[in-house]
Structure 1
Amino acid sequence: MAVSPRSCWPAEALERHDMKVELKGNETIAAPRDAVWTALNDPAFLAECIPGCSGMREVGPDAYKVDMNLKVASVGGTFEGDIALSDKEPPRACRITVSGAGTLGHGNGEARFEIEDNGDGTSALSYQGKGEVGGLVAGVGQRILGSVAKHLTGRFFKAAKQKLEAPEKAAAGA
């Protein structure tokens, strides 16, 4: 017998309750600022680093459609969304706007990132963003949702660092 996500959630979780999520942080990346900027503006790079991304296609200048498979708390689902890059200040800053909907709910948000050159071949990336999610996914509660958002952000930066730092490590070992 198949169980739908709807049957696993309490009735109050099925009502529309949008939850706000805020994220901010800093990352040190062992790569020059220009390389970090180029990577964060490359849809192929983003597709490889975004957790759960199963497809990303360009629909216009700095605008993309993305397909994702994600698990939030104990329930997984598929999402389709939009990503847009704007307010670019190469190679220093950019705004990312996201929106999407899927089997677990809907969401939207925006974040700004800034990249500073540390002067030693590394870069300091800072980000600050906010968003809102609703539907079944919001039923997990604010604390869990915040933890999931931090976890997914951490997975993105772990993948990004591995990809960006790999050439540096290869050169050091040569």
Structure 2
Amino acid sequence: MKINNQFTINAKKDDVWNFFMDAEKIAECVPGCKEIFMISPTKYDSVIDVKIQFMTITFKTRGELLKAIDKERIIVEMNGKSIGFGLFQNKLTVNLLEIENNETLVDYEMDIHLTGKLASLGKVLMKGTITKTSEEFAENVQRLFQYS
């Protein structure tokens, strides 16, 4: 399942880049992120609660920065599992484009693969949950830059 979207941040591209290169700062904006553990500068583990309609599923995840093109693009792979619900894999590509001096467009694509009960919940339900969560993340990031 692929999800493409974009949002604008009222900040310089350099500042947005620095934010996306700091997994601990990103974790503060991820809805449901309870913990993050840095393994190395490019790898981290996290615990994330995801609300899917009438239930909350806790995932243990591992993220890894696969590629970084300075101030232009990052590619991150995240793998997660939840006891009894299955696994997911997400390859996230983020492109940054300076619109104006203090405005940056964040264009992203998620390529998500689900197994187990997650897959059986249905593409429409899961896509809706993932889209809602990514929109909340974008709002949190925008708010963070608004007050910094």
Query: TM-score, normalised on structure 1?
Result: 0.80
- d(CA) in 1 for partners of 2:18 and 2:71? 8
Work out whether residues 105 and 136 of structure 1, in 8 Å CA contact, stay in contact via their aligned partners in 2: yes
- Structure 2 runs not aligned, ≥5 long: none
| Equivalent residue, structure 2, for 1:83 | 63
Q: Does 1:111 align with 2:92?
A: yes
Which of residues 35, 38, 41 is equivalent to 2:15? 35
What aligned pairs does 1:49-128 form with structure 2 within 5 A after superposition? Answer: 49-103=29-83, 104-128=85-109
Please report how far the alpha carbon of residue 46 of structure 1 lies from its aligned counterpart in structure 2 after TM superposition.
1.2
Please report how far the alpha carbon of residue 119 of structure 1 lies from its aligned counterpart in structure 2 after TM superposition.
2.3
Three-state SS of the structure 1 residue aligned to 2:147 is: helix
- d(CA) in 2 for partners of 1:147 and 1:36? 26
| Equivalent residue, structure 2, for 1:138 | 119
Structure 2 vs 1, CA of residues 50 and 152 (structure 1 numbering), >3 Å: closer, same or farther?
same
Matched letter for residue 41 of structure 1: M
| Equivalent residue, structure 2, for 1:24 | 4
**C-alpha offsets along residues 62-117 of structure 1, whole Å, 9 cap, x if unaligned?**
10001112221222121101111121011111101100101322100101111111
Three-state SS of the structure 1 residue aligned to 2:109 is: strand
Work out whether residues 51 and 129 of structure 2, in 8 Å CA contact, stay in contact via their aligned partners in 1: no
Work out whether residues 72 and 137 of structure 1, in 8 Å CA contact, stay in contact via their aligned partners in 2: no
- d(CA) in 2 for partners of 1:120 and 1:94? 21
- d(CA) in 2 for partners of 1:61 and 1:111? 18
Structure with the higher fraction of residues in helix conformation = 1
Three-state SS of the structure 1 residue aligned to 2:100 is: coil
Which of residues 128, 139, 147 is equivalent to 2:128? 147
| Equivalent residue, structure 1, for 2:143 | 162
- d(CA) in 2 for partners of 1:76 and 1:111? 23
CA RMSD of aligned residues (A): 1.2
| Equivalent residue, structure 2, for 1:172 | none
**C-alpha offsets along residues 23-58 of structure 1, whole Å, 9 cap, x if unaligned?**
111111101101111111112211111111100011
Matched letter for residue 144 of structure 2: K
- d(CA) in 2 for partners of 1:86 and 1:166? 30
Matched letter for residue 76 of structure 1: T
Query: TM-score, normalised on structure 2?
Result: 0.93
